[in-house]
Amino acid sequence: MESSNILSWTFAYDFIRGPMVWVAFIVFILGTVFQIFKFFSMSRKTEAIQLKAGPGNFIKPLPKDAPPPKTDWLMWLKLSVFGTNPFLMIVTTIFHLLLVLTPLFVLGHNILWDNAFGISMVSLPEGFTDFLTLIVIICALIFLYRRLFLDRVRAITTWADYLFLFLAAAPFITGYLAYHQMLLDYRLVITLHILFGEIMLMAVPFTKFVHMIYLVLVRFTISSEWGLGKGSRTW
């Protein structure tokens, strides 16, 4: 019985570290391509509206590439989350940036990339990526605190919100525990770390995590006051 359990565990460990990785990347890539096509099918290209000088036009048109007036940016900042809750905006920005960037520069991850594909990427010092991982965990705890103890946030929170928050933080929590070899068996923790990372990767194109894809597409292609690009498309 004991030898059977060992064989089962070894099979699961090898599957998660091997074929499951390929499955996760294929699902993520195909799902992302699908969402990009879906985005362009739901939006359409539009011509930018420009004011023309004329007898009935008392507004002086701005040059095509002129930056928005400074007062517009100040008003935008005041009305946005930056102005109403700067602490939350800072935490949210840091969380999302590190959620995406930290895994790309972890030495252990880049060693795996090099062994599997011969791709050598820049790696940050292990101590620094460990610190960034801890920052992500702290940000996740702040979000959890808000959902548990702030009435206005708890009122609109569902079980799915807790699930997705856990799924986003789980790869970082297990990675932190594995690096420091804290709690449980190292092999079990590192296996959970890989598994949670794979699940999250596959979930990105098909769950609320899809905002990671749409945020970039919308901000740089859709014409709106929140756009970061020229905005050549509209819904």
Kindly report whether the global pTM for this prediction surpasses the value 0.95: no
CA–CA separation, 132 and 102 (whole Å)? 7
% pLDDT > 70, the chain: 76
Q: 151-198, pLDDT tens digit by residue?
A: 999 999 999 999 999 999 999 999 999 999 988 888 889 999 999 999
Mean pLDDT, range 21-41, rounded to an integer: 93
Strand partners, 234: 44
The per-residue pLDDT for 12 is 81
Please check the confidence at residue 58 and state whether its pLDDT lies above 80: no
The pLDDT of residue 226: 57
Count of CB atoms within 10 A of residue 136's CB? 24
The residue length of the chain stands at 235
User: How high does pLDDT run on average in the chain?
Assistant: 82
- Give the per-residue pLDDT at 102: 94
What is d(CA 178, CA 192) in angstroms, rounded to the nearest whole number?
10
Q: Is the pLDDT of residue 63 over 80?
A: no
Would you list the domain boundaries of the chain? 82-203, 210-235
**pLDDT of amino acid 179:** 93
44 pairs with which residues across the strands? Answer: 234
| More confidently predicted of 94 and 113 | 94
Query: pLDDT tens, 189-233?
Result: 999 999 999 999 999 999 989 988 888 787 777 766 555 666 677
CA distance 26 to 34: 12
> CA-CA distance, 221 to 228, in Å (whole number)?
8
Give the whole-angstrom CA distance, residue 10 versus residue 4: 10
pLDDT of amino acid 51: 42
- Whether the predicted pLDDT of 9 surpasses 80: no
Largest CA distance in the chain: 91
Nearest Cα residue to 87 out of 166, 145, 159, 174: 145
User: Per DSSP, what are the bridge partners of residue 45?
Assistant: 233
- What does the block give as tokens for 164? 């997705």
Helix H, strand E, coil C: the string for the chain is CHHHHHHHHHHHHHHHHCHHHHHHHHHHHHHHHHHHHHHHHHCEECCCCCCCCECCECCCCCCCCCCCCHHHHHHHHHHCHHHHCHHHHHHHHHHHHHHHHHHHHCHHHHHHHHHHHCCCCCCCCHHHHHHHHHHHHHHHHHHHHHHHHCHHHHCCCCHHHHHHHHHHHHHHHHHHHHHHCCCCCHHHHHHHHHHHHHHHHHHCCCCHHHHHHHHHHHHHHECCCCCCCCCCEEC
Is the pLDDT at 77 greater than 80? The verdict is no
